[in-house]
Amino acid sequence: MSLENKKEKEQEIEIPKETKKENKKENEKEKEKETKKENEIDEKLKKPTSKDYYFDSYSHYSIHEEMLQDEIRTGSYCRAILKNKALFKDKIVMDVGCGTGILSMFAAKAGAKRVIAIECSGIIEQAREIVEENGYSDIIKLVHKKCEDIVELPDGIEKVDIIISEWMGYCLFYESMLNTVIYARDRWLKKGGKIMPNKSSLFISGCLDQDFITDKMSFWNDVWGFKMNCIKKLIYLEPLVDIIDQSAIVTNSSILKSIDLNTITVEDLSFSVPFELTSKYNDNINAFVTFFTYTFDDCDEIVFVSTSPNSPETHWKQSIFYLQKPFRVQKLERMTGNFSMKPNENNVRDFDITIDYKVEGKYSKIESSQDYRLR
């Protein structure tokens, strides 16, 4: 290539100064966007809640499959509704959080005149098909909204006779729809109307998880040759939802909270209550475990369900709160404590829990407090 041609070629590919400035500005803007995005992610990680994925999670069929396959859970609603047909005959029923529509179809089968099935997640599209497939489209009207966002009910209906809802969550209140049921009750339930189930109670016991050290703690000491000890902090911070064998329960159970769906308020979801437990054996305690019961007793055919370790397994299982300071007890020894629970300030479906406990026995003298988060 000649010298003249080389100069011409360089002139052709030379980038103007203005273009360089524009490219620099664009790069700076991109960096600003990336930094802003990283900061937003950091903020979300600082405040981890289930707020963003709660309703989305219920769009997936698998979570409904698990609940429908829970014979204790689904069977209790089936019995409470179909064994009380006289209660549902020609009534207007509201199903809060209808999911696939199973409770709505139970109500329609029991003789309800109209069922208003409310669901916020995308599973309502499948619920429409299910309702139509089973021939209940004329009775069941599906509403795809948050209950709190509904301005008026279908067909000019102003009040309902019965509210049915499977609102319970892990540790009774976690990710539950109780606040929504309370809203629906206050807004649409007739005076003297029914809520099913209408009562529920939360309990606590002391237990010994024999595999805690080997399976849950020691594992993080060596994970494929790497140390991950920081994860151990989360084990003590986040309660584990799992099945506890009844043989692991060391104490009696103490009732923490009893609720009546006809009278409970949103303010009642924050509570702090004392508890007292008595040991059944000489043994160690390295965790507290909670479970709950619910009852349909405002009807002729009463149905009662317990999720305790002594009862048949349910998808709710039990909630296990591991202790950083475990202790040993003597048979018939008493321990006292306080259980505090309140909705998380960033998401009312999540809960912050504090358990205080005190033991002054033959083997242990301990007073401690531990915070947990249900996320």
- Report the alpha-carbon distance of residue 84 to residue 79 in Å, rounded: 8
Give catalytic status of residue 175 as yes or no: yes
Helix (H) or strand (E) holding 133: helix 124-133
Q: Is the Cβ–Cβ distance between 250 and 206 less than 8 Å?
A: yes
Cα–Cα distance between 53 and 284 in angstroms, integer? 38
CB atoms within 10 A of CB 279: 21
Cα dihedral 356, 360, 363, 366 in deg (nearest 10): 40
User: What is the C-alpha separation between 92 and 163, in angstroms, rounded?
Assistant: 9
Residues with Cβ within 8 Å of residue 246, at least 6 apart in sequence? 309, 310
Q: Retrieve residue 317's tokens.
A: 């299982």
Catalytic residue among 65, 129, 133, 166: 166
**Beta bridge partner(s), residue 329:** 283
Of 34, 40, 125, 175, the active-site residue reads 175
Neighbouring C-beta atoms of residue 318, cutoff 10 Å: 26
Strand-by-strand arrangement of the 114-118 sheet: 140-143, 114-118, 92-96, 160-164, 189-196
Catalytic residue flag (residue 166): yes
Q: How many helices (H) and strands (E) in the chain?
A: 10, 15
CA distance 27 to 25: 5
Active site (catalytic) residues: 166, 175
